[in-house]
Chains A and B, each alone.
Chain A
Amino acid sequence: MPDGHSHPKYKWIGTRPDRPDGADKVTGRARFGADFNLPGQLVGKVLRSPHPHAIIASIDTSKAEALAGVKAVVTAKDFPEQANLIVPTGEMQVNLRDITRNVMAREKALYEGHPVAAVAATTEAVARAALALIEVRYEVLPHVIDVTDAMKPDAPVLHDHMITEGVTPAPTKASNVAKRIEFKKGDAAAGFAEAEVVIEKDYTTQAVHQGYIEPHAALASASEDGQVQVWSTTQGHFQVRGFCAKLLNLETSQIRVTPTEIGGGFGGKTVVYLEPLAIKLSQKSGRPVKMTMTREEVFRASGPAPGGNVKVRIGAKKDGRIVAAECTVEMQAGAFPGSPVGPACMCAYACYDIDNIHIVGFDVVSNRPKVAAYRAPGAPISAWAVESTLDMLALQLGMDPIDLRLKNAAKKGTKTAYGVTFNTIGLVETLEAIKNSEHYRTPPKPGHARGIAAGFWFNVGADSSAASHVGEDGSVTVISGNPDIGGSRASLALMAAEELGVDYEKVRPVIADTASIGFNFVTGGSRVTFATGLAVVNSVRDMIRELKVRAGKIWNVDPEGVIWENGMAKPAGSNVGDFEPLSLAQIAAQAGKTGGPINGHAQLNVTGAGPGFGVHCCDLSVDADTGIVTIDRYTAAQDVGTAIHPSYVEGQLQGGAVQGIGWALNEEYIYNAKGRLDNPGFLDYRMPVASDLPKIETILVEVLNPTHPYGVRGVGEVPIVPPTAAVGNAISRAIGIRMTDLPMSPPRLSEAIDEATPRMAAD
C-alpha cells in the first residue's frame, strides 16, 4: 500500500502526508539542543575522571576559579545528598541517590568519563583551560569491566554497602550483584524430563550505544528570584524538570523545561546528565549556561545499552513442541544498579506458549558508564540467545524455522512467564506474513543463507495530557507534551483530523513546555502514538462536546440534539428541527457570542498497551577468507496495530532493523587494559552506513489493539529485538558454525571459520 488508503473507513488515518516538522528539518531551520542561545550565556564544560575506579581524595578548584573569564565552578559539594529512592524513567528504574552520583561523582569515580567537576566560563577555550587547572587527587582502585569478572568473589567492589537483593538468606558481604530476579511458570524440571530433544548454549553480547546523531545539549538560565528555565534535547522534559527539582532542591513549578527538536534518542535521552550541572552553574554565576557534549563524551559517559551473558536451555518433543525452557541472564548495569535485566528475562520466552519456564536474572555493576534505555531495553539480549537456540532446534529437528515458531506461538489467552495473559496479539499473523512473503517463498541466492528470528516487546501506556484549541477561523491546534522522536506529531494530527472530520492541514500539532501542558511521561516504551494519541483523541472529543453545546445554543436546542459528523454539527434527527449543518469554522466564528473560547482537554493514565511481535527474515553471504558479511535481502514484519502514518511505521521497522544489524555485526564498546574505552567515536564504534545495507523491506500486519479507539499499538521498539538472531542464524547456516558471541565482526567470524576448518596452504 504505497500511497493508497489502508483503511477505507477512515479519511486520514492510514495516509502518508508530509510531517508537520518536515519542512523545517530539511531546510535547516529546525532548532536542536545546541541551537539555543541567550544573551550573556557562558560555556559550561565537565572535568571527567580518567580512571575507571578511584577514590576522590580531594578536589582543589581554587586555581580554576581564579582564572580570568571563569564565572563558576561546581563539584559534588554543590549538590545535596539524596535519599535511597527509586523513581521510574521510561522503561528503566533509577535511584535518586545514584543519579546525583552519576551526574557528579561524590566519594568515588566509578567509570572513565565520570564527571568530577564542571566550570562555566566566557569562552570554550577559557573553560577548557579552567578544567586543566582543577586539581583532583585520586586514589586509584582496581577496576572491573566484564560482568563475569565483576561477579567473581574476589572482584573489586564498586559499592561497599551493596548487598544482593532477592537472595534468601541475604548475603552478609557486599558484592557487585545488585539484584537477583526470578520468573517461574509450571515445573521446568518436569518439563525437561518429558523432553525428547534438549539444547543448551551460552551466549554473550557487548555494550552498544544508542548512537543518536545529536549529542546531549542543554541551556539553563536561573533567575535571582529562583525561577529556572531550561532548553534541552530530551525524550522527557517533565522528567528533566522532576530530576532537576530533586537534585537541586527546587520546586517543580520553579523549573520550566522546553524540549528542543531532538536528533535521535532511542531511550538514551530519558535521563539527565548536563541539565542539573547547567542549572547549578547558572545559579552560581548569575548567567545563562550552555553545555554540549562532544561525541567522545557521549560515548564515554552517556547511554549505553548493556552487554550480558545468557545461558539458554530448551527442551522439546520431536514434533517441535517446546515443553521446557530455562534462561539465565547476567547483565551489565554500568556503575550503578538498574540494568534492564527484568525486561530481558520477561521477554525471553514471551513469544511462545510454553508450560514450564524458569528464568533467572542478575543485575551486575562494573566500572562502565551507567546504562540507559535503548529500544526495547534488555529484550534484544535475551532474544539473541533464545532465538539462536530455537534455530538450532529447528535444524536438529529438520523443521522449517517458521513452522517451529508457529507450533509454539503465543496467542490470545497465552499466559506469560511473568504472569500476564495476552489479549489479542498478532504473532501468528506475523509469522504467516513472512511465510507467505515473496521473500520467504524465493530461495536464497546461491552462496547465501537465510536466518529467521522473532521478537517481543510489551509497549507501555502511562501518563499523558493533551489539549485541543480551535481558532476563530476553524483551524485547530493540538497540544501535547512528548518530544517527537519518531513522527508522532504527524500521527497525533492525523488522529485529531480523523476525529474532528477536518483536513490534516488544518491541524497544527505542538509540543508544549512543562509549564504549558499537564504532565506527560517520557517519550519511551513506544507509548506516544498510543497513549498520548488517546489523550489527543479524548481532548478532541472533549472539544466536540463543547462544539455541540455551541451549535445547540445557535439553534436553541439541547446539546443532546446535536451530532458531530464529517467536521459538521448536524441535528440528531428530524424531531430536533431543520437546521443547515454548522461547520467547525462557522461555530468558531461565533464562539464569542456562544460562551467564549472552545477548547478540549484530557488527562489520562493509559493502560491496555498492546504488545507487539516482530519476525525478521535475513539473507546474507559470508566471505570465508575475510569474515565479512554482506546482507543481501532483509524483511521485517510486525503486528503494528493500525498504522496511523504507514511511512513512519515502516521507518520504525527499518530503523530498528538497521540498529539491530549493527549490534549483530560490528558495534561494541572496546575497553583497554586500563579500563578506558578505546573506541569513543563513530570511526571505531562501527554503526552500519547506508552502503552496508539493502533497502529493508517491511510488512505491516495490522492486528488491532482492542483497547485503543483506532487500534494503535506501539511500534518503535519491537523491530530491534529480532535482528541479532536473524543475522546470526543466517551466518550460522552460511558457515555451518553456530555463532554465540556478539558482535559477529570480521575478525571473530574469520577466526571461527579458521578454527573449524583444517588450516590449508598458509601453514
Chain B
Amino acid sequence: MSEIQYRTAKNIKEAVTLMAAAKGKGYILAGGTDLLVQMKAGTREPGTIIDVKKIPEMVRITEKGGAFTIGAATPAAVIGEHPTLRKAWPGVVEAINLIGSTQVQGRASAGGNLCNASPAADSVPALVAAGCVVRVQGPEGKRDIPVEEFNVGPGKTSLKPGEIVVSLTLPKRPKNASDAYLRLIPRTEMDIAVVGVGVSLAMKGDKVVDARVGLGAVAPTVLLVDKAAKALVGSTLDDAALDAAAQACSDACKPIDDKRGTVKYRTKIAGVLLKRAAMIARDRINGIEHRGHR
C-alpha cells in the first residue's frame, strides 16, 4: 500500500517544482471532482497530490483590454457569477456551468475539465469556439497552446512532464458578437454529453462576419470544425447556410457506438445542435436572452 503525499502550493513556481519532483506520479488538485472520484474507483493512484487552490492567480478572473483570463482552478460557480464575463461569453459560461451538479459547481474548474481530457467535456467545445488560449507553465517556462490542440486523445493532454495549466484566456470580443453552447443528454441534468456544440459568431447587420465551431463527444478529442464556420461566414444564417454548416458538423464526426449513443444518432445530432446553437448565438447578439437549454 503506497502512501499519498498531499502538498499545498503557494505559487505557480512551487506547484511546478512539486509536480516535477513527483516524477510522473503528481496530480494537480483543483476542485478534485474528477481526481477524487477516479482515486476512489482505483483508476488513478497519485504519488503526490498538489493542491493549487491557494495560488491566487489560479482562482481569479481578470479582464485586460477586453480579454478575459480565467485562473485554471477558478470554481465554475464563481465563473457563473462574473457579470462582464457572462455578458461577453455567455456560451462559454453556460458550458462551464453545465459541469456536474449544482454542488459540484462550487468546486469544479474549467482547467480541471480541460485536463481531464474527456472528449465529452462540456466546457471544451465552447472554449474551442471561443478561440481560447491555454497558458501552461513547466520546468522549462511558460507557453501558450490553442485549446483545440491541448488534448490529444481521451484522457491524454499535450502537457509535458512537470507542466501544469495556469489559466485560460478568451480574446477580446468585437461588437455584435456572442456565443452559445448546447449539449444533448437524455436527461435534463446529471449526465454526460452525447454530443456538445459550441458556436461563436460575430455579425455585421444580419450577416455573419466571423464564426468558430467546436464539436464535442463525437471524436477522440473536441474538434474545431472550420468547414462549418466557413459555411456560416458571409451568410444571414439562412436555411441553406445552416444546412451546410450542419452537414459539415455531421461530416466531421468520427464517433463510436457506445452506451451513450450510436454513430448514426451522434452524427445527426451534431448537425441539429449546430443549427440551434447558431440561432441562440444570433439571438444573443440581437439582445434576446436564452437560458436553460440542454
Q: Which residues of A contact B (CB under 8 A)?
A: 125-126, 128-129, 625-628, 665-666, 670, 678-679, 682-684, 686, 688-689, 691-692, 745-747, 750-751, 754, 761-762
Report 11 cross-chain contacts, Cβ distance below 8 Å, ordered by A residue. Answer: A625-B272, A665-B186, A678-B259, A684-B192, A686-B191, A689-B190, A745-B186, A751-B265, A754-B268, A762-B250, A762-B271
Q: How far is the CA of A685 from the CA of B279 in the complex (A)?
A: 32
B271 touches A689 (CB 8 A): no
Of B247, B250, B262, the residue contacting A747 (CB under 8 A) is: B262
A residues near B250, Cβ cutoff 8 Å: 762
Q: How far is the CB of A749 from chain B (nearest CB, A)?
A: 10
Query: A-facing mask of B192-207, CB < 8 A → 1, else 0?
Result: 1010000000000000
- Chain B contact patch, size range: 20 to 34
Query: A-facing mask of B241-256, CB < 8 A → 1, else 0?
Result: 0010011001000000
- Does residue B260 face the partner (Cβ distance < 8 Å to A)? yes
Q: How far is the CB of A695 from chain B (nearest CB, A)?
A: 15
B residues near A751, Cβ cutoff 8 Å: 264-265
B268 touches A689 (CB 8 A): no
- Does residue B64 face the partner (Cβ distance < 8 Å to A)? no
Q: How far is the CA of A686 from the CA of B192 in the complex (A)?
A: 11
Given A688-B187, A689-B187: A125 and B265 interface contact (C-beta under 8 Å):
no
By beta carbon, the residue of chain A nearest B275 is A625
Q: How far is the CA of A745 from the CA of B164 in the complex (A)?
A: 40
B246 touches A762 (CB 8 A): yes
A689 touches B186 (CB 8 A): no
A692 touches B187 (CB 8 A): yes
Given A670-B259, A762-B246: A689 and B188 interface contact (C-beta under 8 Å):
yes
B residues near A665, Cβ cutoff 8 Å: 186
Q: How far is the CA of A354 from the CA of B184 in the complex (A)?
A: 45
B residues near A678, Cβ cutoff 8 Å: 258-259
Query: A-facing mask of B102-142, CB < 8 A → 1, else 0?
Result: 00000000000000000000000000000000000000000
Q: How far is the CB of A111 from chain B (nearest CB, A)?
A: 18
By beta carbon, the residue of chain A nearest B292 is A691
Given A750-B265, A762-B246: A684 and B1 interface contact (C-beta under 8 Å):
no
Q: How far is the CB of A662 from chain B (nearest CB, A)?
A: 10
B187 touches A762 (CB 8 A): no
B residues near A625, Cβ cutoff 8 Å: 272
- Does residue B269 face the partner (Cβ distance < 8 Å to A)? yes
A691 touches B188 (CB 8 A): yes
B residues near A686, Cβ cutoff 8 Å: 186-187, 191
A684 touches B261 (CB 8 A): no
B260 touches A692 (CB 8 A): no
Of A129, A683, A747, the residue contacting B265 (CB under 8 A) is: A747
A residues near B188, Cβ cutoff 8 Å: 689, 691-692
Q: How far is the CB of B33 from chain A (nearest CB, A)?
A: 13
- Does residue B63 face the partner (Cβ distance < 8 Å to A)? no
Q: How far is the CA of A364 from the CA of B37 in the complex (A)?
A: 38
Q: How far is the CB of B206 from chain A (nearest CB, A)?
A: 22
A residues near B187, Cβ cutoff 8 Å: 666, 686, 688-689, 691-692
* Residue from B190, B247, B259 whose CB has the most chain A CB atoms within 10 Å: B259
Of B1, B194, B269, the residue contacting A125 (CB under 8 A) is: B1
- Does residue B14 face the partner (Cβ distance < 8 Å to A)? no
Q: How far is the CA of A669 from the CA of B88 in the complex (A)?
A: 43
B residues near A692, Cβ cutoff 8 Å: 187-188
Q: How far is the CB of B275 from chain A (nearest CB, A)?
A: 9
A residues near B262, Cβ cutoff 8 Å: 747
B184 touches A626 (CB 8 A): yes
B1 touches A129 (CB 8 A): yes
B residues near A750, Cβ cutoff 8 Å: 265, 268-269
Give the 8 A-B residue pairs with the shortest CB-CB distance, closest first. A747-B265, A691-B188, A625-B272, A678-B259, A670-B259, A761-B243, A679-B259, A125-B1
A residues near B189, Cβ cutoff 8 Å: 689, 691
Q: How far is the CA of A689 from the CA of B190 in the complex (A)?
A: 8
* Residue from A691, A745, A754 whose CB has the most chain B CB atoms within 10 Å: A691
B268 touches A762 (CB 8 A): yes
Q: How far is the CB of A299 from chain B (nearest CB, A)?
A: 12
By beta carbon, the residue of chain A nearest B101 is A689
Q: How far is the CB of B115 from chain A (nearest CB, A)?
A: 20
12 additional A-B pairs beyond A691-B189, A747-B265, A750-B269, beta carbons within 8 Å, are A626-B184, A627-B265, A678-B258, A679-B259, A683-B192, A684-B192, A691-B187, A692-B187, A746-B265, A747-B262, A754-B268, A762-B246
By beta carbon, the residue of chain B nearest A743 is B186
Q: How far is the CB of B104 from chain A (nearest CB, A)?
A: 13
A626 touches B272 (CB 8 A): yes
B residues near A754, Cβ cutoff 8 Å: 268
A762 touches B247 (CB 8 A): yes
A residues near B1, Cβ cutoff 8 Å: 125-126, 129
Q: How far is the CA of A625 from the CA of B269 in the complex (A)?
A: 8
Q: How far is the CA of A686 from the CA of B246 in the complex (A)?
A: 28
Q: How far is the CA of A750 from the CA of B271 in the complex (A)?
A: 14
Q: How far is the CB of A297 from chain B (nearest CB, A)?
A: 13
Q: How far is the CB of B266 from chain A (nearest CB, A)?
A: 9
B residues near A762, Cβ cutoff 8 Å: 243, 246-247, 250, 268, 271
Given A683-B191, A686-B191: A628 and B186 interface contact (C-beta under 8 Å):
yes
B residues near A670, Cβ cutoff 8 Å: 259
